[in-house]
Structure 1
């Protein structure tokens, strides 16, 4: 599978190869591989942590409540979703079964490493000018385990020729107490505006 990730030259070939990925144990219980969606090339790639329950069933990233919140935040930040490539650092849903519910579990470092060839392949094929990493798992998968979203969110970072901004995952806004959600959503939008401004500078240096 790693060979396919390294040699594929288009997203459809990558998607078909990733569908059969057995690089870690997550594939055993997940419904399917949830590969990225969006145009290639794309000026902006957003990287989430992993699929949730609805994404796992649908086979697409960011289709549940967090996806709807992301849509709203992108609109407020002046970014068109149809121009963004959306993916996750981990392509299979990591969960614990509790009765009829599947409860999200944070992917392990080994699972993140196993999925890294797919993310690297997406970066190569999509060739984004800017990257947004959403949540701690995504940020550490890309930027290293010492990176802390709590300390460095909203800051422009140069990473291997890409302008990168880390921020919270939209699901973190949804999990917050109701009285804090508006404040956290506004902060999320402000971080996305940093990305929007970076893209504008890239177009108009």
Structure 2
């Protein structure tokens, strides 16, 4: 049985120093830096070209991503793809990943319901994200939702206050933007709200188009 991680352990010792994204993905498959591996079906690492212009960072894989072993393949991923297409951004220019690489869930009948990762789990997984950004070297990083934004931009960052703004944060990438997670658009309470939130989300993504065309 695998040893339980100590509170101060992270994935840092597992991160390979060379080999790029492929080497990172292979190493992350056996990550046990926090307890989430015990519940997730598998590690869900980032996907996309190593030379991607934009890295999109979400919170964690969902149920469909956990089963498929790939990020943003469910409804949220489809909405993201639609937004990129509407903005005229080639999907092949994007790399998608999450702050946490295992699905955290709670049982509800026969369903597995998303549970928000805690600070310990986010910190344990952070070395993988840092290594992905170092390997890809994107022009822009887009934080999808509050968990991703606060993990990368600080706990005091508020998406509601700075949504859609292109920020110069050279520690991460030349440009950083925070917007809502596409799952929040899909959870809007009625059709009109979903149409409105979808339009706002697409407007945020459209601001990235001039960057990738340079």
- TM-score surpassing 0.5? yes
Structure (1/2) with the larger helix percentage = 1
CA distance in 1: counterparts of 2:164 and 2:108, whole angstroms: 36
CA distance in 1: counterparts of 2:157 and 2:212, whole angstroms: 23
Question: Structure 1-normalised TM-score?
Answer: 0.94
2:201 to 163, 180, 188: 188
Deviations 1:108-143 (A, max 9, x none): 011111111000000011110111110011111111
- Residues 40, 66 of structure 2: 8 Å contact kept: yes
CA distance in 2: counterparts of 1:105 and 1:49, whole angstroms: 11
CA distance in 1: counterparts of 2:145 and 2:16, whole angstroms: 26
Alignment RMSD: 1.2
- Residues 42, 126 of structure 1: 8 Å contact kept: yes
Deviations 1:59-112 (A, max 9, x none): 000000111111111111111112211101110001101121001011101111
1:8 aligns with 2:18: yes
- Residues 132, 166 of structure 1: 8 Å contact kept: yes
CA distance in 2: counterparts of 1:198 and 1:146, whole angstroms: 27
Q: What are the equivalent positions in structure 2 for 1:153-172 lying under 5 Å apart?
A: 153-159=163-169, 160=171, 161-172=173-184
Q: What are the equivalent positions in structure 2 for 1:58-73 lying under 5 Å apart?
A: 58-73=68-83
Q: What are the equivalent positions in structure 2 for 1:117-196 lying under 5 Å apart?
A: 117-159=127-169, 160=171, 161-177=173-189, 178-196=191-209
SS of the equivalent of 1:7 reads coil
Deviations 1:115-172 (A, max 9, x none): 1100000001111011111001111111111111111110111112420110000000
Where in structure 1 are there 5+ consecutive unaligned residues? none
Deviations 1:2-35 (A, max 9, x none): 2342513311110111011111111101000000
**Number of residue equivalences:** 201
Query: After TM superposition, which residue ranges in structure 1, 4 or more long, deviate above 2 angstroms?
Result: 197-200
Where in structure 2 are there 5+ consecutive unaligned residues? 1-10
1:46 to 35, 56, 62: 56
Question: Structure 2-normalised TM-score?
Answer: 0.90
Give the equivalent residue in structure 2 for 1:97. 107
SS of the equivalent of 1:164 reads strand
